[in-house]
Structure 1
């Protein structure tokens, strides 16, 4: 009887040992084996209020996770079971359960992107924002002044105030939050470049530098010419000469501009016509790039006061009107 009892205890102990070894083996396999998400990965939406158990169950139902209980136990053991974040997640191939758990605890949600292009007007910015299917639209068709009020800048004109860049954001980000990011980034760049500006520039404040940077942005597409163009405009301002730049006239025409700038357009007096008015226009005419900001605040030296398009994207720079008139004849009149 006693031998039978001892045998039963030994057998039970042996069985428990085998069970523990099996559980440990399976847990180790679970811990190190990537989720079965295929080569394309897996798109997972974790709704607000979801638990680790519900997430594990969904993964199991989608045949990505063999033992959902293990994921729950891992989260509890690490003390993060209540720390998962709602949102959209892209689970990449080779992601292991611990890596996935860190992803949803850290809230590393799927990111979408929207690019604001240098040289765009605020109207183009808003069109891109409104056409983004991943931003939550809250502004609708309200007036421009109301948009700036919603952003917290009720007295400011929006043109040129948003930095051209590619922005990444999770689905559901509001249009207001997106625009505030772009506004803040432009403000930061402008403040930094203003603090590092060349002494003696013809600007009373950083906003005037922003205005000129926007004109420089629209005058040339060549990065190596930005500071040269800025140099021409700053010297003209210092000498009291009118800027006489076509992009400002075009901006002042607004929707009336049909792609063909006529002589009568250059004579029509608007606040943005730098042929009829001295100094800078009242606002920027587009979003300047960082390169244009740097150029406006650290323009190239020299004596050039004029430039004319060569027809290949570059410009010819002249110090005198006679030289400029000859360049116009060579690169525009004779070519036409």
Structure 2
């Protein structure tokens, strides 16, 4: 009798072990199956999603084959059950288990949007419209509506965002990015304004920002910015018109067709610095940090004029006679290239 009991016990242990081995093997097969995706794929996990619901999400998306043993995964791998909400990127080379590990330990996927120096608010809105995985909450808003939403006490938003690269995650909106860009602009502007040169013909940080935008549009050569700034500062000090083409173009708006004619220089607009004295009423573009630095810390020079050199930079002059010579030299270069 005892022998039969022992035999039955041994048989039970063997069968149980075989069953456990079978279950464990099936569970391992489920967890180690490769994801059925051919390219990096985004997965969004909502707040409150359970581990088993997450596995159903993989299965319903046909990224993995379903298994009746999947319900045991949470017991076998409790370290994988700490599901975080957010949007993550799955890789084709991952197995289901590797993907789950990345969801527990990894960071949400981020996207970036880059705004170049000298771009306008109109350019920014066009970029926002094309930005992937970003909520376009301002699409049907006017500029005044956006200003109100951002608590900016100005009707025009030109120049009020710092031109640089901003990162965002799924679920963020264009307003979120604008808010960060505006805060960053104020931070940089206030820091440089506090370190400005003495005797600048600028009364407010906003005027410094306006000058920075003109500098930004006049030169793309970083080392030239302080020198270009000195020309405009020298002109402001003696009450001389700035006479800068980018302000004319900005004032022309949709009427600008790529060319500035003499009549355009003579046609008054609030932004035409050939007809008005001083700075334009608002910035004419978004700026980067270097342009702000140049606006409040210009080079010490006696220059009052500059013209393109034909080689990417500019020729600076102290008087009109030398400037006219530089203009003629530039025109000769243009004709030679035609």
After superposition, residues 214-253 of structure 1 pair within 5 angstroms as: 214-253=213-252
Q: Is the 8 A contact 1:162 1:287 kept in 2?
A: yes
* C-alpha RMSD of the superposition: 3.2
Structure 2 residue runs without a partner (length 5+):
none
Q: Specify whether residues 241 and 177 from structure 1 end up closer, same or farther in structure 2 by C-alpha distance, changes over 3 A only.
A: same
Deviation of the 1:236 alpha carbon? 2.2
Distance 1:312 1:150 in 2: 44
What residue is the counterpart of 2:85 in the other structure?
A: 85
Q: List runs of 5+ in structure 1 lacking aligned partners.
A: none
Structure 2 counterpart of 1:6: 6
Task: Decide whether the 8 Å contact of 1:57 with 1:68 is kept in 2.
Answer: no
* Contact 1:51–1:84 under 8 Å retained in 2: no
Distance of 1:139 and 1:266 partners within structure 2: 35
Change (3 A) 1:197 1:5: farther
Q: Deviations over 1:178-210 (max 9, x none)?
A: 321222222222233334434443322221111
Alignment map for 1:303-318 (pairs within 5 Å)? 303-318=302-317
Q: Does structure 2 retain, via aligned residues, the 8 Å contact 1:37–1:64?
A: yes
Contact 1:86 1:107 in 2 (8 A): no
Q: In the superposition, relative to structure 1, how do residues 24 and 141 fare at CA in structure 2: closer, same or farther (>3 Å)?
A: closer
Residues 252 and 273 of structure 1 are in contact (CA less than 8 Å); yes or no, is this contact kept in structure 2?
yes
User: How far is the alpha carbon of 1:315 from its aligned partner?
Assistant: 0.8
Instruction: Note if contact 2:120-2:286 (Cα within 8 Å) is conserved in structure 1.
Output: yes
User: What corresponds to 1:69 in structure 2?
Assistant: 71
User: Aligned to 1:215, what secondary structure does the other structure show?
Assistant: helix
TM-score, scaled to structure 2 = 0.83
Distance 1:293 1:310, change over 3 A: same
How far, CA to CA, are the matches of 1:133 and 1:42 in structure 2?
A: 14
Q: TM-score, normalised by structure 1?
A: 0.83
8 A Cα contact 1:310 1:332, kept in partner: no
Describe how 1:75-224 pairs up with structure 2 within 5 A: 77-78=78-79, 80-81=81-82, 83-87=83-87, 89-95=88-94, 100-101=99-100, 103-105=102-104, 108-132=107-131, 134-155=133-154, 157-224=156-223
In 1, are the aligned partners of 2:64 and 2:96 still within 8 Å (CA)? no
CA distance in 2, matches of 1:27, 1:245: 72
Displacement, 1:17? 5.2
